Structure 1
Amino acid sequence: MAEAMVSNAAAPEGVRIYAIGDIHGRADLLDRLAQSVDGDLRNGAYDRVITVFLGDYVDRGLDSRGVIDRLARRDFPTPIVTLRGNHEDVMLRYLDNPALLDQLVAFGGLTTLASYGVDASREMTHGGAPAVLKAFLERFPDSHRRFLEETALSAEYGDYFFCHAGVRPHVPLAQQDPGDLMWIRYEFLGYRAPFEKVIVHGHTPHARVENLANRINLDTHAFKSGVLTAGVLEGRQRRFIDTGG
């Protein structure tokens, strides 16, 4: 756990916010971080607590199904808000269009298909991309699709604005394009001036948390590094807990 740091930005009075970066199929790390959050809840006093998941629950890691299943059941030590990442964006569009299989695969989606019991190579041999999607839809629970469809693009608490990828500079937060909230990188990451609020995001992997004046990046490359990170925002303090390497 990183030591607390004081910022000018503040969470709402009496509210503790946990924000969790990109999971990418690592249900094992989600389990471990949930245990850490549960233990952390015993520290300090607060009136309300919430956890914001920043998106990218699927692909790359081996258990996307386990991640979605847990979050769809709201099985977490606190109430949760689940945001949509670019990987969920691709997955949702793929559910209605087998032609997007190549894009899904390019994003690490073969592991997602496999976690639902779909052998993409075998299905391609028998019937091409439509057969892969058919096999996937036969194994994809309605509750999982509803979970993806109900993910939000952003959330705001106090002086913090939460989204998956970031925001476009010089555009009011209330007018941000959905595509930017899920996909933007360089225009956002290179911007050093303040935004209307501190942006809490993931999407761009980094060796460690980027705890900056205008943004906080919580994507610590969990599927590869074994480090899934939660930022803890309370009053004007920021601190971080993670699963370790």
Structure 2
Amino acid sequence: MTNIKLNNPTEKTQNAVVLLSGGLDSVTCLYWAKARYATVTALSFDYGQRHNSELVAAKTIAELAGVNHRIIDIDIAQLGGSSLTDHSMIVPDGDADKFPNKKHDVIDNDAIPNTYVPARNTIFLSYALAVAEVTDANHIVIGVSSVDYSGYPDCRPEYIAAFEHMANLATKAGVTGHHLSIQTPLQQLSKAQTIELGLSLGVDYGQTISCYQADSHGLACGVCDSCALRRQGFAQVGIADPTHYQSQP
């Protein structure tokens, strides 16, 4: 079981902003931050994604966790370039071998999949940076991973380090000696380890929605890349998958 550890007792007096999509990773980060910091502000985005079910989940989860929650409206969809915002593009399946009865647009593991949304994490972190300044937060928490993820360039440790460096150059907080950090508690964790961490913190994963193309009721497709990674994680932990699917894949 993965355990939470405080690096610095003074963190209990500090504040944090958590990027909350409503999915498995971000909700784990929310509970991780709640256990670590004095106050937490959850930040979600209505950015023109394929469905709003994840935002409904994020709102419910933030209420259950008892944290402040803000939803920012930005229209990334008008830029195109991603199957998560452009309905004319096909969301690729995550694992053709597991679902032989369906038609597949299989992800090339050596390429960045079309579910990558151009500059999304940079845009989200920039908003989080502004919220951190106005809420006197010392930390921004984001659920990126270098282990179980879809190959997005803005999930890499090098990117996070570069953004943190920029944040402390570009803000009043940074230049007046109030260091801002970007926390990535899941960076070196597999999906199974992430689930173990969340369970130790009391996360109800049945409330989360990770699917790239969930329906209006929040039911997951079961075949996209995000669903495949999620299902694999629960299988590796050895517990029942609490995800609500559109149909049994």
TM value normalised by structure 2: 0.33
Greater relative contact order (Cα < 8 A, sep 6+): 1
Normalized per residue, which structure has more strand? 1
TM value normalised by structure 1: 0.34
